[in-house]
Amino acid sequence: MREILPGVFTWGSTYADRPWDLNGYAIVFTGGTVLIDPPALEEADWQKLPKPITTVVLTNRDHVRDAVLFRTRHGARIIAGKDEVSQFSPLTIDAVVQEGDLIDGALRVIHLPGKSPGEIALYLDPAYHAVSRKMGGILFLGDAIIGNPPGALGLIPEEKLDDPKTLRGSLPKILDYQFEVLLLCDGQPVLSDAKQKVSEFVKKLG
């Protein structure tokens, strides 16, 4: 568990079939802490996690990770994209969001279908968050883009994508937002010049 940016914490784990870091994030807001795609925590890190934990946001069906435990231990609600809800069965989703919605008054929802029907990205809107404003904008991505190989951007293996063509068509949407920091739930984050790097990556995809 480490504070990667002021008020934004991260931790991770790895799995044999995914040779890159699987990261979760915790964002501290006035009303409580929001978790994004939280993997398992070491017992000592439970004490470091800012509380109260009010919300867990899942960007896609494959990032449930330890969400249920956070709901059980802290009473956090679980949120996911409207078009992804059916993909989580039998897990119950407590609330759904769609394109343009704000979570906890600051996390803007961006719908990015293709990997799965209702994948979402989360934009920490600088208009409502001082740290994001200072950093030039902060964007969180689940599986739409990953930070692998290390130091570069990539897509998850094509066999794990429902519709690669749709995903490629979705990705340019994130360039409508201003961000200099890209925090990835799979692979290494990009802490500077992120929009430029994403723009170059999207162009390569064609």
Contact 122, 139 (CB under 8 A): yes
Whole-model pTM? 0.95
Would you state the torsion angle of the CA atoms of residues 167, 168, 173, 179, taken in this order, to the nearest 10 degrees?
100
Q: Structure tokens of 24?
A: 């979760």
What does the pLDDT look like over 86-138, one tens digit per residue? 999 999 999 999 999 999 999 999 999 999 999 999 999 999 999 999 999 99
Contact 28, 50 (CB under 8 A): yes
Supply the pLDDT for residue 20: 66
What does the pLDDT look like over 147-180, one tens digit per residue? 987 789 999 989 999 999 999 999 999 999 999 9
Q: Name the fold adopted by 2-205.
A: Metallo-beta-lactamase; Chain A (3.60.15)
